[in-house]
């Protein structure tokens, strides 16, 4: 039986962000650092949140699209120099993951590589760290309820830091925060959420609660994503997509698979800085085909939910919502593919794919996704 842990406190409702000051107060936080990005500052969402407080909280706005250890250290320096005592991760998965890594270093010495899953770092992580509230503004990664942070370390590898102690103290989920999300970002983050539901369901570990949650998330996401992309003001679609993202991440403690084993090193290619959800969308059809022989009746369950052969449905959905046609269109070269195929073997998601890929298999999956 796989580890089954659902311990995060979740506040999920339209308008829930208004509770942020009182929730921080309940955690004993008097001077929070809000970790976010420049896009959200420019959009006015950060100002909306800081306006809830009697005195303006401190802001770190330099989260990169793929969070790096350098950015973590910069935020940590600000946290310490200003006497902060808690963290708010406000944004998409990048901001929340960065906030998680900063939080980790409030009670641990760097560098981050020693805490990564591939280095056996979970045993080094303890709970003597500051409180944190995660506030997602996209419906994709589900990092607000995940026990991992994925960071590009100082060595240039995109790696997962995984521990129950990495779970935020509270996940504050307000679908209203996603109403202004542009169509392409809605599409990319939505495909990220769907890929989590698909991969965790196919993962071989025995975890019926995770399977049930993943399938519920998949049903919600497949029904809502096109509507959310075509009409960003559709409140029902936005609610369903945020729940899909939440459920995908609640379930993926069971494990992910080859899609993420590939997208993590692809996301670490500095000269491209590719979006994680878009990569997941492009790679999912080929990985579904690769896994078909190993997943048995699960293929038919997925086909019933999706309304057709899973690989074809996901490829059609990717095209219909305006995402790139393949890796070539995203600038991925043959040399990059050769490197990524080797790195995928070292990723923590490699071990939980239902069929174990070789380096040659990974390279073939990349070629199929061109």
Q: Specify whether the CB–CB gap between 233 and 173 falls below 8 A.
A: no
Same structural domain, 128 and 215? no
CA distance 362 to 349: 13
Model-level pTM?
0.93
11 contacts: CB under 8 Å, gap ≥ 6: 19, 23, 170, 171, 172, 173
Same structural domain, 64 and 108? yes
CA distance 295 to 350: 16
Of 155, 177, 199, which residue sits at a domain end? 177
Same structural domain, 173 and 220? no
Same structural domain, 205 and 171? no
Parallel/antiparallel/unpaired status of strands 158-162 and 148-152: antiparallel
Helix H, strand E, coil C: the string for 215-265 is: HHHHHHHHHHHHHHHHCCCCHHHHHHHHHHHHHHHHHHHHCCCHHHHHHHH
DSSP codes, 123-135 = GG--S-S--EEEE
Q: Specify whether the CB–CB gap between 147 and 127 falls below 8 A.
A: no
The tokens for 121 are 């770092």
Q: Specify whether the CB–CB gap between 291 and 354 falls below 8 A.
A: yes
Of 177, 202, 236, which residue sits at a domain end? 177
Same structural domain, 146 and 205? no
Cα–Cα distance list, 146 to 82, 275, 364 (Å): 28, 19, 30
Q: Specify whether the CB–CB gap between 151 and 99 falls below 8 A.
A: no
Same structural domain, 225 and 340? yes
CA distance 234 to 186: 12
Cα–Cα distance list, 298 to 104, 173, 353 (Å): 37, 30, 14
Q: Which residues are 353's β-sheet partners? A: none
The tokens for 158 are 């995109």
Same structural domain, 113 and 240? no
- What 8-state DSSP symbol labels residue 18? G
Same structural domain, 86 and 214? no
CA distance 239 to 266: 30
Structural domain span for residue 224 = 181-368
Give the chain's length: 370
296 contacts: CB under 8 Å, gap ≥ 6: none
Q: What is the pLDDT of residue 270?
A: 85
Answer whether residue 3 is part of any domain: no
The tokens for 48 are 């909306």
Q: What is the pLDDT of residue 3?
A: 55
Q: Whose CA is closest to 129, among 161, 173, 90, 93? A: 161
Answer whether residue 1 is part of any domain: no
Same structural domain, 17 and 156? yes
Structurally, the chain folds into a number of domains equal to 2
CA distance 220 to 168: 24
Q: Specify the DSSP element, H or E, that contains 148.
A: strand 148-152
Q: Whose CA is closest to 31, among 57, 52, 54? A: 57
CA distance 156 to 151: 9
One digit per residue, pLDDT tens: the chain, 370 residues?
455 666 789 999 999 999 999 999 999 999 999 999 999 999 999 999 999 999 999 999 999 988 999 999 999 999 999 999 999 999 999 999 999 999 999 999 999 999 999 999 999 999 999 999 999 999 999 999 999 999 999 999 999 999 999 999 999 999 999 998 999 999 999 999 999 999 999 999 999 999 999 999 999 999 999 999 999 999 999 999 999 999 999 998 899 999 999 999 999 998 898 999 999 999 999 999 999 999 999 999 999 999 999 999 999 999 999 999 899 999 999 999 999 999 999 999 999 999 999 999 999 999 999 9
CA distance 195 to 259: 8
Cα–Cα distance list, 239 to 107, 138, 184, 195 (Å): 35, 11, 18, 18
Answer whether residue 2 is part of any domain: no
Q: Specify whether the CB–CB gap between 31 and 84 falls below 8 A.
A: yes
Q: What is the CATH number of the domain that holds 203?
A: 1.20.1090.10
Answer whether residue 130 is part of any domain: yes
Same structural domain, 135 and 217? no
Of 177, 193, 217, which residue sits at a domain end? 177
Q: What is the pLDDT of residue 5?
A: 61
Q: What is the CATH number of the domain that holds 29?
A: 3.40.50.1970
């Amino acid at each position: 039986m796989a580890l089954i842990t659902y311990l995060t406190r979740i506040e999920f409702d339209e308008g829930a962000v208004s509770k942020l000051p009182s929730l921080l107060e309940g955690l004993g936080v008097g001077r929070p650092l809000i970790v976010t990005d420049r896009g959200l500052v420019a959009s006015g969402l950060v100002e909306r949140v800081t306006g809830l407080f009697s005195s303006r909280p401190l802001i770190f706005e330099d989260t990169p699209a793929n969070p790096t250890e350098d950015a973590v250290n910069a935020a940590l320096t600000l946290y310490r120099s200003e006497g902060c005592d808690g963290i708010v991760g406000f944004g998409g998965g990048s901001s929340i993951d960065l906030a998680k890594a900063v939080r980790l270093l409030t009670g641990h010495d760097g560098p981050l590589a020693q805490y990564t899953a591939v280095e056996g770092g979970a045993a080094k992580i303890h709970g003597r760290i500051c409180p944190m509230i995660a506030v997602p503004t996209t419906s994709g990664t589900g990092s607000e309820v995940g026990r991992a942070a994925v960071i590009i370390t100082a060595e240039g590898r995109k790696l997962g830091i995984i521990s129950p102690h990495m779970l935020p103290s509270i996940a504050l989920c307000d679908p209203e925060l996603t109403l202004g999300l542009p169509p392409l970002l809605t599409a990319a983050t939505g495909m990220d959420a769907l890929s989590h539901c698909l991969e965790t369901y196919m993962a071989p570990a025995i975890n019926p609660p995770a399977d049930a949650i993943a399938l519920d998330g998949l049903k919600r996401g497949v029904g809502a994503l096109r509507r959310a992309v075509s009409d960003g003001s559709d409140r029902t679609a936005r609610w369903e997509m945020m729940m899909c993202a939440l459920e995908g991440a609640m379930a993926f403690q069971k494990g992910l698979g080859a899609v993420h084993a590939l997208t993590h090193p692809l996301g670490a290619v500095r000269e491209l800085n590719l979006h994680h959800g878009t990569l997941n969308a492009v790679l999912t059809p080929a990985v579904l085909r690769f896994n078909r022989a190993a997943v048995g009746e699960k293929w038919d369950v997925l086909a019933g939910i999706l309304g057709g052969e899973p690989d074809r449905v996901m490829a059609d959905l990717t095209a219909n919502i305006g995402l790139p046609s393949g890796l070539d269109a995203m600038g991925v070269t043959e040399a990059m593919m050769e490197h990524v195929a080797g790195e995928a073997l070292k990723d923590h998601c490699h071990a939980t794919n239902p069929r174990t890929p070789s380096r040659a298999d990974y390279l073939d999956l990349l070629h199929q996704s061109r």
